[in-house]
Amino acid sequence: MATELDYFERAISLKEYMDRMEQHKENSFSIYEQFDVPKDDEFITHLKELSPRILVITEDWCGDAMMNNPILRRIAEAADLDVRAVYRDEDTELIDRHLTNGGRSIPMYLLLDEQGNIAAKWGPRAASIQKRVMELKSQIPPKDAPDFEEKQKAVFTKLYSEYTTKPEFWLTVYDDIRTTFLPVVQGTK
């Protein structure tokens, strides 16, 4: 069985992953171009010092990945980190080790220590954004309803619009990643 480090060593860079995207590419790059890592952040300093590797489990059809991956890429660039991506659906053995409430939710970010062990895990979305997603999804009727597809499409259109136009969402993602990873990179976890 391959380890997370084995997957990391076979993975592609997050930059290459984004360059290869077929779905959500324009929106993902729009976020990437607009998002700046907050200045004077001890998080980036600690990341630079520790220099962990981060393994991303993702797919380009995923709206959460569309928003979160560019933010992680900016963090990686600011801290000069090696961040690599694997496609969830190419080998489900890895994601099946990191299920969210029993589901294969993505993106999933695995912070690897020097030995390649998982030191921290983040994903698939920030808690406050999860609340917003659940609020919007509550507007979708049951799958057997005649207007299910129409309502579901409207909800995802609204959500993706918010993901791509609300910088406060991007900062929320940044802060949530920071909150998850900072204790590890500070050596307090």
pLDDT tens digits for range 68-117:
999 999 999 999 999 999 999 999 999 999 999 899 999 999 999 989 99
Q: Which of 87, 33, 81 is nearest to 57 (CA)?
A: 87
Residues 26, 138 contacting (CB under 8 angstroms)? no
Q: What is the pLDDT of residue 184?
A: 87
CA distance 178 to 82: 17
Q: Are strands 53-58 and 82-87 parallel, antiparallel or unpaired?
A: parallel
- Which residues of the chain register pLDDT less than 50? none
Q: Where are the alpha helices (DSSP H) in 3-145?
A: 4-10, 14-20, 25-34, 42-50, 63-79, 92-95, 127-137
Domain 4-126+167-186 class in CATH:
alpha beta
Residues 124, 108 contacting (CB under 8 angstroms)? yes
Give the type of residue at 55. Answer: L
Supply the pTM of this predicted model: 0.94
Q: What is the pLDDT of residue 189?
A: 58
Domain ranges of the chain: 4-126+167-186
Q: What is the pLDDT of residue 185?
A: 84
DSSP string, 132-177: HHHHHHTTSPPTTSTTHHHHHHHHHHHHHHHHHH-HHHHHHHHHHH
